[in-house]
Amino acid sequence: MSGAFWSRAGAHAESFDRLFAVLTGFSVLILLLVAGLIIGFSIRFRSGSKVTRHKVSRLVHREIEIGWIAATAIVALFFFWWTTSANLQQAGAPADAMEIHIEAKQWMWKASHPDGTRELSTLHVPAGRPVALYLNSQDVIHSFFVPAFRLKQDVVPGRTATMWFEADKPGTYPLLCAEYCGTGHSKMLGEIVVMEPGDFAAWLDSRPEGAGLIAAGRALFTSAGCSGCHAAGSAVHAPELAGLYGRQVPLADGRVVTADAAYIQDSILLPRRDIVAGYAPIMPDFADLLDEEEVAALVAYIRSLKGDTP
């Protein structure tokens, strides 16, 4: 495995390292200040020394006290703002991001590319292009951890987790599972191979094309019976799914939710939980009928349906 754990790739890694260095430096400063005062006072006021002790309390003026409370509050708020905005930057993937689905299972990572290309425990991505990952687990909780990108995302069964990154330097970077997931946990290793866009396109061409997640989802949509209710001309009163992804959905109980990947997955597995306003709760529960991979295929297919093509 080439590429050291501490090697760095991507803009997020840079800002994370800067934040980490500043927080560490600041902690060391506070440590030195406190330790210095402890040592200084212990020497000055040691038993037997002839300093005047009754005046000590006057050392601390009101202004100084107000000053340090204000200063530390401002410093704390500054770090809060900095860490939060760094985290929020990670929250939503850019619209032009390349989408890759990851299935985690004991003890491997399975990746499927938009064109259906699949790979095991290795993920090839182009440099300089945002990549959005949609992660599912087939068994227990895993955690997708790429130290070089300074990114880690828990993958909980029954939920679709999302994360994104943009690698800037071609190279091979270790991929680890950072959640103890059974006896083979320490062997749940992989690699992220970042390639120049031209090399990546050539690599993709050289791979045998798989069935394709979206194509598999389209077939399932009919074979599992979804189209019976959701197809455009259906006699059943069910919502139109084209253009659903990313839309605000008003629910029967008054809440309004964003139709992200997790919402679509829940709509299939737990249809009773979020009922769309204006519809009867007649959708059957598919939790026992579909496995994780089939659900991932359906979610990918529904997400691919654009609003203008019903």
Residue nearest to ligand HEC (CB): 226
Cα–Cα separations (whole angstroms), residue 78 to 19, 69, 72, 85, 90? 12, 14, 10, 11, 19
The residue (of 178 and 229) whose beta carbon lies closer to ligand HEC is 229
The residue (of 160 and 267) whose beta carbon lies closer to ligand HEC is 267
228 binding partner (options Cu ion, ligand HEC, none; Cβ < 5 to 8 Å by kind): ligand HEC
- Could you list the residues that contact ligand HEC (CB under 6 A)? 224-226, 228-230, 236, 238-239, 241, 244, 249, 259, 264, 267-268, 271, 275-276, 279-284, 286, 298, 302
142 binding partner (options ligand HEC, Cu ion, none; Cβ < 5 to 8 Å by kind): Cu ion
Q: Which among 22, 2, 13 is positioned nearest to 148, based on CA atoms?
A: 13
| Eight-class DSSP state of 66 | H
- Could you list the residues that contact Cu ion (CB under 5 A)? 142, 177, 181, 188
The residue (of 149 and 301) whose beta carbon lies closer to ligand HEC is 301
The residue (of 119 and 154) whose beta carbon lies closer to Cu ion is 154
Tell the smallest beta-carbon distance from residue 116 to Cu ion (Å): 25
Give the count of beta carbons closer than 10 Å to the beta carbon of residue 249: 16
267 binding partner (options ligand HEC, Cu ion, none; Cβ < 5 to 8 Å by kind): ligand HEC
177 binding partner (options ligand HEC, Cu ion, none; Cβ < 5 to 8 Å by kind): Cu ion
Residue 122: CA atoms inside 13 Å, Cβ hemisphere, count?
11
Task: For residues 9 and 170, give the distance between their C-alpha atoms in angstroms, rounded to a whole number.
Answer: 8
- Residue 246 in contact with residue 259, Cβ under 8 Å? yes
Q: Which two tokens stand for residue 23?
A: 């927080």
Q: Which among 134, 200, 202 is positioned nearest to 170, based on CA atoms?
A: 200
188 binding partner (options ligand HEC, Cu ion, none; Cβ < 5 to 8 Å by kind): Cu ion
Tell the smallest beta-carbon distance from residue 308 to ligand HEC (Å): 17
- Residue 41 in contact with residue 33, Cβ under 8 Å? no
The residue (of 189 and 229) whose beta carbon lies closer to Cu ion is 189
- Interacting residues of 87 by C-beta distance below 8 A, sequence separation 6+: none
Tell the smallest beta-carbon distance from residue 101 to ligand HEC (Å): 16
Tell the smallest beta-carbon distance from residue 107 to Cu ion (Å): 6
Cα–Cα separations (whole angstroms), residue 26 to 13, 23, 72, 150, 251? 20, 5, 12, 21, 47
- Residue 182 in contact with residue 140, Cβ under 8 Å? yes
Tell the smallest beta-carbon distance from residue 98 to ligand HEC (Å): 23
Sign of CA dihedral 201, 207, 211, 212: negative
The residue (of 210 and 239) whose beta carbon lies closer to ligand HEC is 239
Tell the smallest beta-carbon distance from residue 304 to ligand HEC (Å): 13
The residue (of 43 and 256) whose beta carbon lies closer to ligand HEC is 256
Tell the smallest beta-carbon distance from residue 138 to Cu ion (Å): 11
